[in-house]
Chain A
Amino acid sequence: MSESLLKAEGIYKSFVGVQALKNVNFSIKSGEIHCLAGENGSGKSTLIKIISGVYTPDSGYIEFDGKQYTKITPIEAINNGIQVIYQDFSIFPNLTVMENLAFNSELAEGRKIVNWKRMRTIAEEAIAKINFKVDLDAYVGNLTVAEKQMIAISRALMFNTKLIIMDEPTTALTKKEVRNLFNIILKLKEIGIAILFVSHKLNEVFEISENFTILRSGELVASGSTSDLDDRKFSYYMTGREFIPRRFKPVNLSEKPIFEAKHIGLSGFFEDISFSLRRGEIIGITGLLDSGRTELALSMFGIKPISHGSFSIDGKQVQIQSPRDAIEHNLGYVPEDRLTEGLFLSQSIADNIIISEIDRLAKRAGVVDQDKRKEEIERWVQELSIATPDSNNACQTLSGGNQQRIVLAKWLACNLDILVLNGPTVGVDIGSKHDIHGILHELASKGLGLIIISDDLPEIVENCSKILVMKAGRIVAELKADETDEKSILSYML
């Protein structure tokens, strides 16, 4: 065992009465890829901030290259070769790639006057280190997420860097971009740079990291080699709960379909798609990012009305030209990006729940019946076990899982027949994901027809009875969930 590059021993940290970290130990060696995992609020970011000097620990010490520190300043951390790449990449969207790359070192050297030639040289050197090709004069705001990340990595490498901490680096990246990122991480490992990878995504932890540390409510629950870890253990460490995989088995299937799509198409996105959905059934639709799955979802809810074919509900042909039409036919939609499309984040939890049924709560002159309103809110907070001390709090105070429950509550309050869910558990932690799936199963058994659109294959296989695979705008396969597995679905997708 070689000496560790960074060691944190017995770290305690509390914020106004909340114990964020309790006796946490952590260590990483040169050239090691280490994954720090934990659900929201487990203390991951607090630990990172202590290592990078943003917070001072209440007790415990940090050892770097054999030197002990009871507290460390951000500058000391940088001088010791620690670089943090935050989720927002700390970039300036309004400035060019060149300036984004060169600013840090110019500032570190205390320069007052700008020399554009020198900035260009610095920037060229920085991107050459990871073989990243980009127009130095392009504005960073116009680049893709992956390119922005490469800029952040190039910038982090400009100092005598020994450890790079990446906070949830794969959020918002496509599969190909994730692959590219992992290749770069492996290259950095070769030159002896340690990578601390913060994530709550299971497959990433397995794929890239050698060692892991898992935190739960501020405490270290497990650490060791990734090869000793499996799905079950990982979920257990993360949540403290045992999950028994529950395959969805449809009960109470209706005779006739509640919802049918007949040869529907939307020019440029998808064409000739037909399927039927019965009450009590959950259909899964999957495909790659550009397969047209998202557009199909939007068309069903009338956001992008179809240009060919027709929908029928309960055997009757219907026009769905707008979300209002869809709602009138008791069809609801849970969007992919609940933050911008599904919720009023700054409004109260209560108002978010009742927003879509507000017409029914109105008394005569259009005034909302307060007693009825309260009744409805209490009912849904309880039924979906939304964890909040007060339903008048803003929606943004909730975790991802609880926010998703509110989106569900909003729709269930409308007495739906059909619910379309696009990526229902994106960015939701394991525990909540499990609970949300449970809710979906229950809804189906109560007689709703559900359509889940997702590229999370385990989710599709576990929760759907019928799976439609899309590729380049068409359905290429219709599979029964109990007769297929992830591998064969994937082969149809690609």
Chain B
Amino acid sequence: MKTTTPISLKKLAGRNEPYIFLVLFALCLLIEFRSGQFFSSNNLVDIASALIVPGLFAIGAFLVIISGGIDVSFPALASLSVYATTKYLLDIQYEGGIWLPIVIALAIGALLGAFNGLFIGYFRLPALIVTLGSSSVFKGIMQGALNSKQLTIIPVGMRTWGTTALFTARNPVSGLTSRMPVAFIVFLIVLGFVFFLMRYTMFGRSIYAIGGSETSAHRAGFNVIRTKVVLYIMVGMIASLAGVIRVCMMQQAHPTNMLGMEMNIIAGVVLGGTAITGGRGTLLGCMLGTLLIVIVENSLILLGIPTSWKSVFTGALIIIGTGISAYQVILMNRIKKTKHSVKEAA
């Protein structure tokens, strides 16, 4: 690997990942010193389990942002596909395992993703406008056609899968226990799959290429339209998978529970160094940024900060975090410029 991906320290300094990692590490230490509870086994498991759904959403958002687009419809898309799936399975009194719910949700997710992809890829409409619109459409279908209300009972297969634990961590001091859901494996599989896709396939590279310059990508021979449509289908499927996991873990299907998550997810992705203008960013950074947001949302209570202040802290983190990376860019440009002028003077 070393020969194909040389990463010098100097190059690393220009990246966002080391900084976000340091911030993350400092925050963890702070919480640990204040509470002594952060590095306890059950808290770590709690954070890992809280990362699953935002993590999957973030992977989807990451892919779209890299391609130069933006997707604000994924919470609505996930809600609609999982709600439709659950309702249908309840209607037919399905009693089987988890596979059918996942397959149905993925199929609906692909269909809804294709809807986005068609307008964004084929008709070349701006992604923000399309997904704002489709977000409304998806919510509308859920409330209108499906007459959505909270489903407090979910099919038995989903219920048992949601409560099955890989292992259980127990805090020796407080005696609290936390389950690591099986869904974490699913998250890791998707993460590994997307990592491979982005780094080792022409499809993944074409997403980067399109994010860098759509005209150049077209001229180089990439099939820009097909790539975009496939991308949005894939993102729809990943979001729907996250939706199924959310419902299984909560043991109920709540139609509006996921709505409004999009801004924090996108903020996490951008915080992790993904350029909002597309083309630049790594999956590692995206995960670190998301993890930071998840930890702030989950662990502030350990610092003795009331949960009502949570959004203030998340917001401040986003402003400071993106501010720092924006400042980094300005700094880098300045260094480059002075170097350049020195060269020219010489």
Contacts and interface: CB of A to CB of B under 8 A. Distances in A.
Interface of A: 86, 88, 90-95, 99, 103-104, 106-108, 111-114, 116-117, 120, 137, 142, 144, 289-290
A91 B213 contact: yes
Contact of B209 (A86, A103, A113, A116): A103
A290 B221 contact: no
A142 B344 CA distance: 16
B208 A116 contact: no
B4 A113 contact: no
B216 A108 contact: no
B199 A88 contact: no
B221 A137 contact: no
B341 A95 contact: no
Q: Is the interface of A mostly helix, strand, loop or mixed?
A: loop
Contacts of B205: 95, 99, 103, 114
A107 B222 contact: yes
A341 to B, nearest CB: 17
B149 interface: no
B48 to A, nearest CB: 31
A99 B213 CA distance: 13
A120 B345 CA distance: 33
Nearest to A112: B202
A289 B6 CA distance: 36
Nearest to A139: B280
Given A103-B209, A120-B4, A137-B6, A92 B202 contact: no
Nearest to A103: B220
B208 A95 contact: yes
B225 to A, nearest CB: 15
16 contacts: A88-B213, A90-B219, A90-B220, A93-B213, A94-B208, A94-B211, A94-B279, A95-B209, A103-B220, A103-B222, A104-B221, A107-B222, A114-B205, A116-B5, A137-B6, A144-B340
A111 B202 contact: yes
Contacts of A137: 6, 11
A117 B212 contact: no
B123 interface: no
A88 B221 contact: no
B189 to A, nearest CB: 19
A99 B202 CA distance: 11
A88 B209 contact: no
Given A88-B213, A88-B215, A92-B279, 18 more contacts: A86-B219, A90-B220, A92-B217, A94-B208, A94-B211, A94-B212, A94-B280, A95-B279, A104-B221, A112-B201, A112-B202, A113-B201, A113-B202, A116-B4, A120-B4, A137-B11, A289-B344, A290-B345
B202 A114 contact: yes
Interface in B1-33: 3-6, 11
B99 interface: no
A293 B174 CA distance: 73
Contacts of A120: 4
A99 B341 CA distance: 28
Nearest to B279: A94
Q: Which of A99, A103, A120, A144 has the most CB of B within 10 A?
A: A103
